[in-house]
Amino acid sequence: MAVGNILIIDDNKGILSALEILMQPEYESVSSISNPNQISSFPNLEKIDLVLLDMNFSTGINTGNEGLFWLRKLKELSPGITVIMMTAYGNIELAVNALKEGAYDFILKPWNNEKLMAIVKSAIALRYSRVEIKKLKIKEAQFKNIINQNKDSTIIGNSIALNQVLTLTDKIANTDVNVLITGENGTGKEMIAKKLHVKSNRRNEVFISVDMGSISENLFESELFGHLKGSFTDAKEDRVGKFEAAEGGSLFLDEIGNLSLSMQAKLLSAIQNKIIVRIGSNKPIVVDIRLICATNCNLEQMVAAGEFREDLLYRINTIQVRVPPLRQRDHDIILLSNFFLKKFALKYGKPQFLLSKNTKIKLLEYQWPGNVRELQHAIERAVILNDSPIIKPEDLAINTIKKRPLYTTLTTLEEMEENMISKTLLQTSGNYTEAANLLGITRQTLYNKLKKMKSNGK
């Protein structure tokens, strides 16, 4: 028995019986209806592979216009459905019109059984090949997405502040707990989210990122939960929302603090129940996602001010990851600068650049209010405009009038040692061997001291 679900629509009971007898031994499911008005209420129409549709239903009318009307209706309800038209009053013009409207083929009554079965077999084969092609395209898009995730999830730096974040990320990556990532703009919150995904059990599924701050209130439900064609003025086709698109993978909601209270309520319902409903539909859709949110806002203060729902904060904040600002990552600034120098030199076809000693000092003295994003833009600008292989302080479009203190006041011998180690690593741009030589200790001793500093949360 061949795979295939067939629906026959004809007002002639004899035709229905004859086709059922012919088709049932060959296909797994053969259904029939004698009134085309039943099409809209036919259960699971989207699972039907092939429809055999009569073209005339009213007595004395044989123009075929009724069949074309119901063909359009079928295509509207199930866009991927395959339809073969049938009529006893055929002509070339009618056949051409049917094919223009999306019919697969046109058959005259009475038919030849062998020829009809050959056409049906071919139509179902085409239907399944299209479904497979669509699946392959989706898989290909997901694969490209995964490749890009792995490319984009490399985090540069080995400062103590950053390592604390990465250690926490490693601990929670393989869980499905909801994570809230906080930090200033430009600190790399999305990169931490991608790192969580790439290290999780969902790494082979999609990572969907949504900028919540850019979604208007009237498009919120459509963007997140999807809609059906015709459910509102601009709904020209069915659309899958971000929750549904992230099925099996991770959904990253950035700038979640920008949502209005009404949008927060709708989001809370979806997160609590793990069920969404497309606009224009009554059918609930169960979603399996790992939720990661991010914000540069103080959500606790917003809750106190009545601007953010406390129950939503609890839902998204099972684990909180605070990404440190760049000014707290000290020698990572030089590591990142060198990384961006290589990246943009390659991008713009230029020779490799080096940072002068005074340029490094300027980079370390600057507050970096825009964090890693601002550093990236500063280095990119310097690469584009500079013809010399050495990046000088004046090549950086930053103002260091308000300098940040590189080192804090010391109170204990332990703090003095930790500060000296940090200072030396800054001076050597994170080169452990060179730093150990300057400090007069072995590389292993330096590793041990750094490990102790890390365990103490320094």
CB 48 within 8 A of CB 5: yes
Q: How confident is the model over 35-60, as a mean pLDDT? A: 86
Rounded Cα–Cα distance for residues 250 and 253 (Å): 10
* CATH number for the domain running over 2-129: 3.40.50.2300
153-322 CATH choice from 3.20.170.30, 3.40.50.170, 3.40.50.300, 3.20.20.450: 3.40.50.300
CA 190 to chain centre: 12
Question: 252 pLDDT exceeds 60?
Answer: yes
**How would residue 457 be classed by pLDDT, with cut points 50, 70 and 90?**
low
Q: 259 pLDDT exceeds 90?
A: yes
Average pLDDT over residues 60-82: 85
pLDDT, the chain, mean: 86
Q: DSSP string spanning 243-276?
A: HHHTTTSEEEEESGGG--HHHHHHHHHHHHHTEE
Distance from chain centroid for Cα 220: 16
| Inter-residue contact 386 to 353 (CB < 8 Å) | yes
Name the token pair of 122.
């071919």
- State yes or no: pLDDT of 149 exceeds 80: no
pLDDT digits over 405-420, tens only? 544 444 567 777 777 7
- Domain 326-395, second-level architecture: Orthogonal Bundle (1.10)
Q: Would you say the CATH fold of 413-455 matches that of 153-322? A: no
> Is the separation of the CB atoms in 259 and 217 below 8 Å?
no
Break the chain into its structural domains and give their ranges.
Answer: 2-129, 153-322, 326-395, 413-455
Bond from prior residue into 284 cis (ω within 30 degrees of 0): no
Residue partners of 184: CB distance under 8 A and separation at least 6: 296, 323, 325, 369, 371
Nearest one of 62, 101, 109 to 82, comparing CA atoms: 101
Is 1.10.1040.50 the CATH number for 413-455? no
Whether the pLDDT of residue 59 is over 80: the answer is no
- CB hemisphere CA count around 294 (13 angstroms): 24
Q: Is the pTM of this model over 0.75?
A: no
Buried b (16+ CB within 10 A) or exposed e, 188-219: bbbbbbbbbbbbbebbebbbbbbebeebeeee
Residue 76 has pLDDT above 90, yes or no: no
User: What does the pLDDT average to over 351-369?
Assistant: 91
Residue 442 has pLDDT above 90, yes or no: no
Strand 319-322 and strand 179-182: the pairing is parallel
For 246-271, letters b (16+ CB in 10 Å) and e give bbebbbbbbbbbebeeebbebbbebb
Give mean pLDDT, residues 351-373.
92
Q: Give me the pLDDT at residue 145, please.
A: 61
Per-residue pLDDT, averaged over 9-32, amounts to 90
Q: What are phi and psi of 84, to 5 degrees?
A: -110, 125
Q: Where are the beta strands (DSSP E) in 279-378?
A: 284-286, 290-295, 319-322, 354-355
Asked whether residue 319 carries a pLDDT value surpassing 80, the answer given is: yes
What does the block give as tokens for 95? 């056949």
Residue 426's pLDDT is what? 66
Q: Is the pLDDT reported for residue 401 higher than 80? A: no
The predicted structure's pLDDT at residue 409: 43
For 30-50, what is the mean pLDDT? 89
DSSP H helices in 81-208: 92-100, 113-152, 160-172, 189-198
- Mean pLDDT of all residues in 252-256: 95
Residue-wise pLDDT tens digits, 267-283: 999 999 899 999 988 88
Does the structure show a pLDDT above 60 at 143? no
Beta strands in 340-416 (DSSP E): 354-355, 390-391
Residue 84 pLDDT > 50? yes
